[in-house]
Structure 1
Amino acid sequence: MSLIPLPSFADLPLRIGDPPNSAWGLWTEHGFDDQLGALNYLTDDLAKKTIQEEVKTGKRVGLNLALDFINPPLLGRVGFSKQIIRKDPRVINDDVITFNTQGSSQWDSFRHFAYQKQAKFYNGVTQEHIHGDEAANSVNGIGAWAPRCIAGRAVLIDYASFAQKNGIEYDALGRHGIPLTDILTIAKESNISFHPGDIFMLRTGFVAAYKAAPKEKKQELADKKPPQFCGLGQSKETIMWLWERQFAAVAADAPAFECSPALDPEWHLHPILLAGWGTPIGELFDLEELSKTCKELGRWSFFVSSAPLNYAGAVASPPNAIAFF
């Protein structure tokens, strides 16, 4: 059962003049915190229920890539650096690290990607809000999520294993759109049911392929313009399905979650999910051990906790995510 009355997809946008397919004001209309967007689904009661139903063995799987796993960095970002500092004359060490918060496993906040034509982020926030005289304004930042963290039921759609099993050939390090029909087939074969407030996770095989790639291939990926990534394929049917499922968040092991460049730019997922609905997008999650564990246990749902960085106005953050079985 949905936490709020869900408008039909045909009713989007909810207000005249708002960007296409947006749902601005939906949560405040029902008395919830709009800074949380779809994370409002993750109530205390839902977390308690999920722990009781999903945590049976105590087995834990980390979902975080090393901060320096992607090297050289993609999309022109600053790479990871580390400095270990000797605190002489005492025998003590400190360390200082610098990194782009989107250089490895990450959550995208609602201030990351706007509707490009309208130049507006979630609920109408503009670049002027974020960069102008109101620079201290933390609206749409991950700092709003941090006090309660992210905790709820997650489901894994293991497309990489499905493709291997069914002889589907594709380049996990290139442009490949995963069709909704395959997502639904995998869910049916794995007896996966979706609930409002689930965290949807998609294994494309990118992490495994990147780990096995030679340095020359990794450099080629970093230099490629426009960048090309595998991920969920864009279509009206896919967007409608995502809306009707009402996921609290979505995530994948690929750099963009969705196929890039988009198969159909009209249904580009980033502006609709982040700027339109307030649905967090996770990217470059490490789903390799998770896939193995799901196969061993014969189950594809689990409890996930995530504690993003806590500072005002964060655009993105490492997820610090753990799956519990």
Structure 2
Amino acid sequence: MTETTQDPGQLPWNPNCTKFPSQKDLPRLPGAPEGAAWVWGEDDQLGRLKLLTPQRVKASAQEILTGEMVRLDLPLNVPEKPAFNRETFQHSYKTIAEDISYDDCYSLNTQSGTQWDGFRHFSHIPTKLFYNKATSKDFFGESPNLRCSIHHWAEHGIAGRGILLDYRHYALTHNKPYDPYTSHAITLDELKACAASQGLDIRPESEGGDIRVGDFLLIRSGFVEKYHQISPEERYTAATRTHDDLAFAGVSREQAVRDWLHDCYFAGVAGDSPTFEVWPVPQMDFLHQSLLALWGCPIGEMWDLEKLAEKCRERGKWTFFMTSAPANMPGGVGSHANATAIL
């Protein structure tokens, strides 16, 4: 791909460019909050998934060396009791003809387990604006429409290069133990050190690093590992803590992390915890509002990264081809990820 640099003021931006403006150089957009990167067009519904151009997807397929597939979703009934008072997954059978034919019936909250947070999930709190000027009236008003609906992602498709940072392994092997069910913040310095231990430089490729525009960032914090280690009673107790008492390890909200997440131009980010960012969140300073509402960057949560981490460590290779098929649900807020890494 020929190197081309995006002019911040030249709207809409061209997703085929190879170098994009840093957060501090974003253009000031009329009617948008400061820091909004609503730059892909007035009617854009994809955000940074726009970076998954045919050229990038084709280039990402070069990551496939063995063809081995690793599913990244937990079973639909895991966790047994979701946090944040979300509904428990229910499964039943419908008999079509006894002893001959049966159907499944599911009752679920799409964000009860392995999930994508879609752009309808979280707004920019001070302005109540969702991605690209959408408001709740677009979802629930007298004339609801399909702005920010998850089906736009499904129709476009999600496939590209994934990169895994196994922070959990790094911390435990560098005498930095922590409990994933506590508010342990993963700083940029820690992510850099983790990446270095894996032989990676997590600066953008345009700065000499290994992160390519349109990569998917996956961070293993150890939540799934811990979930399987504790008893059902302990899981239930942890999940039913009050909203203010819930605590999970996750990415720090320090400015350095925000700048890095923005400037790498990931097509999406995901982790194995229920929140991706460290929880709880003081003073309503959610990283969710930056990623989803301001930048249009999908957030994945409760992804099963255990087998993938094991396979990457065996290979000594931390990049792979990744696909995801979110639900084709017009008006949908989020979706189970239906994600697979192909090695």
Q: Which residue of 2 aligns with 1:47?
A: 57
Question: Number of matched residues?
Answer: 318
User: 1:20/1:260 Cα in 2 relative to 1: closer, same or farther (>3 Å)?
Assistant: farther
Residue 106 of structure 2 corresponds to: 97
Pick one of 134, 154, 165 that aligns with 2:162.
Answer: 154
Contact 1:41–1:248 under 8 Å retained in 2? yes
**TM-score w.r.t. length of structure 2:** 0.89
Instruction: Pick closer, same or farther for the CA change 1:263–1:231 going to 2, 3 Å.
Output: farther
* 8 Å Cα contact 2:21-2:263 kept in structure 1: no
Moved more, 125-134 or 7-16: 7-16
CA drift at 1:181: 0.4
Amino acid at match of 1:257: F
**Residue among 49, 73, 83 paired with 2:82:** 73
Q: Does 1:241 align with 2:249?
A: no
Contact 1:233 1:263 in 2 (8 A): no
| Per-residue CA distance 1:125-151 (angstroms, 9 max, x = gap) | 11111111122x111111001123200
- CA spacing shift, 1:156–1:85, aligned 2, 3 Å: same
Give 1:28's aligned amino acid: G
Shift of 1:262: 2.8
Match of 1:282? 300
**Is it true that 1:206 corresponds to 2:214 in the alignment?**
no
Compute the displacement of 1:121 (Å): 0.4
Picking from 41, 63, 80, the partner of 1:28 is 41
Compared CA separation, residues 282 and 89, structure 1 to 2 (3 A): closer
Displacement of 1:265 in angstroms is 4.8
**Over residues 209-265 of structure 1, what are the superposed CA-to-partner deviations in whole Å (9 max), with x where a residue is unaligned?**
011111222122222122211110111111111111010000000101110113675
The amino acid that maps onto 2:251 is: L
Q: Is the 8 A contact 2:128 2:135 kept in 1?
A: yes
Moved more, 255-264 or 58-67: 255-264
Q: 1:14 to 1:93 in 2, by over 3 A?
A: same
- Of residues 329, 334, 339, the one that matches 1:311 is 329
Written as runs of structure 1 = structure 2, the 5 A alignment for 1:137-176 is: 137-176=145-184
Match of 2:154, SS? coil
Q: Residue 188 of structure 1 aligns to which amino acid in structure 2?
A: A
Match of 1:95, SS state, is strand
Cα offset for 1:17?
Answer: 4.7
What is the identity, as a one-letter code, of the residue corresponding to 2:173? K
Q: AA paired with 1:216? A: E
Which residue is 1:223 aligned to? 240
State the Cα distance separating 1:95 from its structure 2 match: 1.3
Deviations 1:270-311 (A, max 9, x none): 000000010000000000000000011110000001111101
Q: Tell me the equivalent position of 1:6.
A: 20
Q: Is the 8 A contact 1:12 1:23 kept in 2?
A: yes
Look up the match of 1:126: 135
Instruction: Output one character per residue of 1:31-57: Cα deviation in whole Å (capped at 9) or x when no partner.
Output: xx62111001111111111112x0011
Secondary structure of 1:28's counterpart equals: coil
By how many angstroms is 1:8 displaced?
A: 3.1
Please, what TM-score do these two structures have when normalized by structure 1? 0.93
Distance 1:235 1:242 in 2: 11
Partners of 2:193 and 2:282 lie apart in 1 by: 21
Tell me which amino acid in the other structure corresponds to 1:34: D
Letter in 2 for 1:141: S
Q: Please give the residue correspondences for 1:166-205 in structure 2 after superposition, counting only pairs within 5 Å.
A: 166-192=174-200, 193-205=210-222
The question of whether the paired residues in 2 share the 8 Å contact of 1:235 and 1:264 is answered with no
Q: Does 1:261 align with 2:270?
A: no
Counting aligned pairs with the same residue, the percent is: 37
Amino acid at match of 2:47: G
Q: Is the 8 A contact 2:215 2:268 kept in 1?
A: yes
In 2, the alpha carbon distance for the partners of 1:129 and 1:258 equals: 27
Question: What SS does structure 2 have at the residue aligned with 1:146?
Answer: helix
Is contact 2:115–2:303 with CA below 8 Å preserved after alignment? Answer: yes
* Structure 2: gaps (5+ residues): 6-15, 201-209
CA RMSD of aligned residues (A): 1.7
Match of residue 250 from structure 1: 269
Match of 2:204 in 1: none
Give the SS at the match of 1:211: helix
Instruction: Verify the 8 A CA contact 1:110 1:141 in the aligned structure 2.
Output: yes
User: Is 1:19 matched up with 2:27?
Assistant: no
Q: 1:89 to 1:304 in 2, by over 3 A?
A: closer
